[in-house]
Chain A
């Protein structure tokens, strides 16, 4: 059975609202009354979700089974949407706040607007697609933790902020636009692709993993050039990104890349691939 929960934000919260309970997999059985009664942290108080949300639930036998949660409105001040979700689909028709999709292990989040900081932090699976821009610390690790994102994919159609993929341990982050400083900082594994301009200090402190860029003007001197070649995995990665709904103009399957190994200070097992035919 296909279950669609369609909710609208009735008023923009004055204070940050922590909505980690708003995730499709935990609402598979909930009725509207139960949903409205969900306790959410609002400032230093607990309020019922119904104070901010109104909507309807539709159940149909058509199409694939599963739960889709649609949130409409300006959720910029709503944090932790879809946090820890394991399955289902969350569609946010508008901007959303910090920690969206953090620690998620499966399912799909689509954000038709901008996303706040810590998008997909510590995620282990699933796909997050942002049609606008994303904030800082995408797929990163929280302070004090040693591993950030470990799996899944974050596809950003716009730009991303600083520290993208910090301490990332797996998974894929794609930024179609520009990315600010320190992408892949202390990265341990996984893949970051920045199709636009990259900020300085690409891969600073990276131990392993792959950062693919077009703009390598700010590559650190601790990265050493190896060769120019066509990585055999690139067509596969490109196809996967396209399957997620993002076409990278000018990044053909036959692209040539300059391969740099680095960072020398941390063992040189990481790589930066500089696309020079994009």
Chain B
């Protein structure tokens, strides 16, 4: 398949079932809300090394306390993994940020009575930081904890929603130059970032150090994706690159639902093709044996409406 002169390989991206969560962080100003959002989503590019993947989704359309706020998405491999990581992150990265407050983000993507949704505790555990001076406030049906801190009170909702989500949707852009490939990737990221419910956890929304499972070193569970590294093209036994493929960038997408990941992949690929300058778009998979979700590139683009 060709799209705007870009070859779309007949392959699929292999993604995995994950647990996802949306947090809304607010602060006295947009600047400090963004500081808090960046802090809590920092060092969260890949579950391989960080245990969690996260991204700032965008400005919160309706922050509960009416202050400037940002929605953040988090994904991890397990319920416990996400709950523990978020407890640490809210405690260490958010509570420490000036004037911040933390709320459970709404999940309009999922029916409220879905079996895929569960609740986990953050505020109810963090409250002990108050050393006995913490207090709670129930407003409507929601309990918030008020932890005394040096600039006032840190307000955090007691429980948050977690849902079964999808992580690892991806596509790779192969181009003749770093500049052309980066431009196409930037166009894809910009298009995907218009969407809600999907996260691009890597820096700037793209990753240059894609990985393969395993390594020749026993102590390493993942290593560089040698099939797509142009500097070792002639040495790699199964390089996927042709003469003239001088740069590869990958977009990795986590989403609250399978449909959102599929749509984000389609939107991103179309934007990259519209930008042009690249030779080929492909996707990463493990032969279909590891991941539950398969996103076939040709089907995604064929379904475009």
**B-binding residues in A (CB < 8 A):** 151, 170-172, 190-191, 208, 210, 229-233, 235-237, 239-240, 253, 269, 271
Alpha-carbon gap, A230 to B99, bound state (A) = 10
Is the pair A235, B65 in contact by a Cβ cutoff of 8 Å?
Answer: yes
A-B contact pairs, 17 of them (CB 8 A): A190-B138, A191-B137, A229-B152, A229-B153, A232-B101, A232-B155, A233-B137, A233-B139, A233-B146, A235-B66, A236-B65, A237-B139, A239-B64, A239-B66, A240-B139, A240-B140, A253-B66
Alpha-carbon gap, A89 to B58, bound state (A) = 39
Is the pair B152, A151 in contact by a Cβ cutoff of 8 Å?
Answer: no
Q: Which applies to chain B's interface (DSSP): helix, strand, loop or mixed?
A: strand
Tell me the nearest residue of chain A to B65, going by C-beta.
A235
Tell me the nearest residue of chain B to A232, going by C-beta.
B155
Q: In angstroms, how far is the closest chain A Cβ from the Cβ of B101? A: 5
Q: Which residues of A contact B101 (CB under 8 A)?
A: 232
Is the pair B146, A232 in contact by a Cβ cutoff of 8 Å?
Answer: yes
**Quick one: given A232-B101, A232-B146, A253-B66, are A237 and B152 in contact (CB under 8 Å)?**
no
Alpha-carbon gap, A111 to B144, bound state (A) = 30
Interface residue from B67, B135, B140, B154 paired with A235 (Cβ < 8 Å): B67
Q: Which residues of A contact B146 (CB under 8 A)?
A: 231-233
Is the pair A237, B137 in contact by a Cβ cutoff of 8 Å?
Answer: yes
Q: In angstroms, how far is the closest chain A Cβ from the Cβ of B24? A: 12
Alpha-carbon gap, A229 to B52, bound state (A) = 36
Q: Which residues of A contact B135 (CB under 8 A)?
A: 208, 269, 271
Q: In angstroms, how far is the closest chain B Cβ from the Cβ of A264? A: 15
Interface residue from B64, B66, B138, B153 paired with A231 (Cβ < 8 Å): B153
Counting chain B CB atoms within 10 Å of each CB, the highest count among A151, A229, A230, A235 belongs to: A235
Is the pair B138, A232 in contact by a Cβ cutoff of 8 Å?
Answer: no
Is the pair A151, B138 in contact by a Cβ cutoff of 8 Å?
Answer: yes
The 8 closest A-B pairs by CB, nearest first: A232-B155, A235-B65, A233-B137, A235-B66, A229-B152, A240-B139, A236-B139, A232-B101
Interface residue from B67, B138, B154 paired with A170 (Cβ < 8 Å): B138
- For chain B, residues 123 to 174, give those with C-beta under 8 angstroms from any C-beta of chain A: 135, 137-140, 144, 146, 152-155
Q: In angstroms, how far is the closest chain A Cβ from the Cβ of B142? A: 8
**A-binding residues in B (CB < 8 A):** 64-67, 101, 135, 137-140, 144, 146, 152-155
Q: In angstroms, how far is the closest chain B Cβ from the Cβ of A106? A: 11
Is the pair B152, A230 in contact by a Cβ cutoff of 8 Å?
Answer: yes
Q: In angstroms, how far is the closest chain B Cβ from the Cβ of A211? A: 13
Tell me the nearest residue of chain A to B28, going by C-beta.
A230
Tell me the nearest residue of chain A to B101, going by C-beta.
A232
Is the pair B140, A233 in contact by a Cβ cutoff of 8 Å?
Answer: no
Is the pair A236, B144 in contact by a Cβ cutoff of 8 Å?
Answer: yes
Alpha-carbon gap, A229 to B67, bound state (A) = 16
Q: Which residues of B contact A235 (CB under 8 A)?
A: 64-67
Q: In angstroms, how far is the closest chain B Cβ from the Cβ of A198? A: 20
Q: Which residues of A contact B64 (CB under 8 A)?
A: 235-236, 239
Counting chain A CB atoms within 10 Å of each CB, the highest count among B64, B140, B144, B153 belongs to: B140
Alpha-carbon gap, A142 to B67, bound state (A) = 41
Is the pair A232, B139 in contact by a Cβ cutoff of 8 Å?
Answer: no
Q: Which residues of A contact B144 (CB under 8 A)?
A: 233, 236
Q: In angstroms, how far is the closest chain B Cβ from the Cβ of A69? A: 24
Is the pair B152, A233 in contact by a Cβ cutoff of 8 Å?
Answer: no
Q: Which residues of A contact B152 (CB under 8 A)?
A: 229-232
Q: Which residues of A contact B137 (CB under 8 A)?
A: 191, 210, 233, 237
Q: In angstroms, how far is the closest chain B Cβ from the Cβ of A237? A: 5
Alpha-carbon gap, A210 to B136, bound state (A) = 10
Is the pair A232, B140 in contact by a Cβ cutoff of 8 Å?
Answer: no
Alpha-carbon gap, A191 to B135, bound state (A) = 12
Q: Which residues of A contact B65 (CB under 8 A)?
A: 232-233, 235-236, 253
Is the pair B155, A233 in contact by a Cβ cutoff of 8 Å?
Answer: yes
Alpha-carbon gap, A106 to B198, bound state (A) = 37
16 further A-B contacts with Cβ under 8 Å, apart from A190-B138, A269-B135, A271-B135, are A151-B138, A170-B138, A210-B137, A231-B146, A232-B101, A232-B146, A232-B152, A232-B155, A233-B144, A233-B146, A233-B153, A235-B64, A235-B65, A235-B66, A236-B64, A237-B137
Tell me the nearest residue of chain A to B154, going by C-beta.
A232
Interface residue from A151, A171, A232 paired with B153 (Cβ < 8 Å): A232
Alpha-carbon gap, A240 to B66, bound state (A) = 12
Alpha-carbon gap, A110 to B66, bound state (A) = 28
Counting chain B CB atoms within 10 Å of each CB, the highest count among A230, A236, A253 belongs to: A236
